[in-house]
Amino acid sequence: MSATPKDRAPEKDATPPQRQDGDHASQETRSEARADELRIVIITGLSGAGRSTALNALEDLGFFCVDNLPAPLVDPLIDTIGAAGMREIGLGIDVRSGGFLDAAASSIDALKGRGINTEVIFLDCADEELLKRFSETRRPHRLAEGGDILEAVRLERKRLGDLRARADTIFDTTSFSVHELRKALVEHLTRRDEGWRMITRVLSFGFKYGLPAEANLVFDVRYLPNPHFIRELRPKTGRDPEVSKYVLGSPEGAALIDQIEALLRTALPGYESEGKAYLTIAIGCTGGKHRSVAIAEELGARLSDLVQLTISHRDVARAKGRESADPKLPLSSSKKPAQKRSDKHSENPTEKP
């Protein structure tokens, strides 16, 4: 006896076409929305420059972070994390990636090509400071197979050249403590939360210690009158009123600061409107103690109404320490010494800080 249609169990329709097509279209729409909403921050740079500190700061801000990820796994990871509903992702890329490092630059280009908000932050640092850090921590450098750390740092710089060229922001961590680096990164990464402004840093430095790696604009003020040759001013810095008056009160100093201010009042709004997040204006003299410091302080005061601005002096402490330890550069006072003495070096105009 055969079953009637009413008695027969209903057949299962495993592939309802309209419903499946609708779900598929919905999934595509959601996938595209996730790509638009994703924010990826890639931390790269020299070993010892603070990459671990930077990734820890990202994690504290709520980023899902993965360190030392091989380049071929970047796209699958982004898709997987995005599908899980995570929107902010931090990636650490460095020379530990070995042979995968060569593909990192193209992976970054691919992410940006997909329309994903991708920012590359490169952490730089002076060679001598890196040597000091490796010596203090006693950690091996990945590329120092023969124990030559300096050569390893130079090789690493070369291998990271493509990533540095793609960096949206470069932090020179030479003079940063761990806490200062963390603070700078947090301020940088949260700038868009409420009416963000371009972060402008006015940095004084000494040419004798090298150009700042993060400088976007550099002004050379070594032609200004040098307080180093005034015995009463030599032990002071550009933050002291007497030195500032000496530098800015000269015809050359007064004209220069006016012209730099006029230039920056035109340029800074342009940089900000273009979407630039971080700008470093470097002011350099010979030792980074007198002229550059005075100009940087005055420039910062004049531009404080225009941009969000910080002032820092890279080499003041270094220049003061060098001078106090150098018997050829005696610290003098405006008071006359009790006994007259001969000091040929103090009158030698060829000596520089």
Mean of the pLDDT values across residues 340-345? 40
Domains of the chain: 31-190 (3.40.50.300), 195-335 (no CATH)
Q: Tens digit of pLDDT for each residue in 63-118?
A: 999 998 888 888 888 888 878 888 899 999 887 766 677 788 888 888 888 888 89
Percent of the chain with pLDDT over 90: 34
Residue 240 confidence class, pLDDT cut points 50, 70, 90: very high
- Tell me the pLDDT band of 286, cut-offs 50, 70 and 90: very high
Residue of 273 and 110 predicted with greater confidence: 110
Q: What are the start-end ranges of the H helices in the chain? A: 17-37, 51-60, 74-83, 104-113, 127-137, 149-159, 161-165, 178-189, 241-248, 251-273, 291-303, 316-325
If pLDDT is split at 50, 70 and 90, which confidence band does 300 have? very high
DSSP annotation of 47 reads T
* Lowest model confidence (mean pLDDT) among 33-47, 194-208, 218-232, 257-271: 33-47
* Mean pLDDT value of segment 320-333: 47
The structure's pTM equals 0.53
Higher pLDDT, 42 or 21: 42
Per-residue confidence band for 320, with pLDDT thresholds at 50, 70 and 90? low
Q: How far apart are CA 353 and CA 349, in angstroms?
A: 11
pLDDT score of 80: 86
Q: Are 206 and 287 in contact (CB under 8 A)?
A: yes
Q: What dihedral angle (degrees, nearest 10) is formed by the CA atoms of 184, 185, 187, 192?
A: 150
Within 13 Å, how many C-alpha atoms sit on residue 262's CB side? Answer: 6
Residue of higher predicted confidence among 30 and 131: 131
**Angle made by CA atoms 107, 109, 115, in degrees to the nearest 5:** 110
pLDDT at 336: 36
Lowest mean per-residue pLDDT among 5-19, 47-61, 207-221, 269-283: 5-19
Work out the average pLDDT over 172-188: 85
* Confidence band of 195 (pLDDT split at 50, 70, 90): low
121 versus 188: the higher-pLDDT residue is 121
The confidence score (pLDDT) of residue 329 equals 42
Closest CA to 86 of 134, 38, 21, 127: 38
Q: How far apart are CA 4 and CA 6, in angstroms?
A: 5
Check whether 6 has a pLDDT greater than 50. no
What mean pLDDT comes out for the span 188-195?
Answer: 66
Confidence at residue 191, expressed as pLDDT on a 0 to 100 scale: 66
Residue 292 has pLDDT above 90, yes or no: yes
Q: Which one-letter DSSP state was computed for residue 336?
A: P
User: Around Cβ 43, how many Cβ atoms within 10 Å?
Assistant: 28
pLDDT for position 147? 62
Q: Does pLDDT of 310 surpass 80?
A: yes
Taking all residues of the chain, what is their mean pLDDT, rounded to a whole number? 78
Beta bridge pairs of residue 93: 44
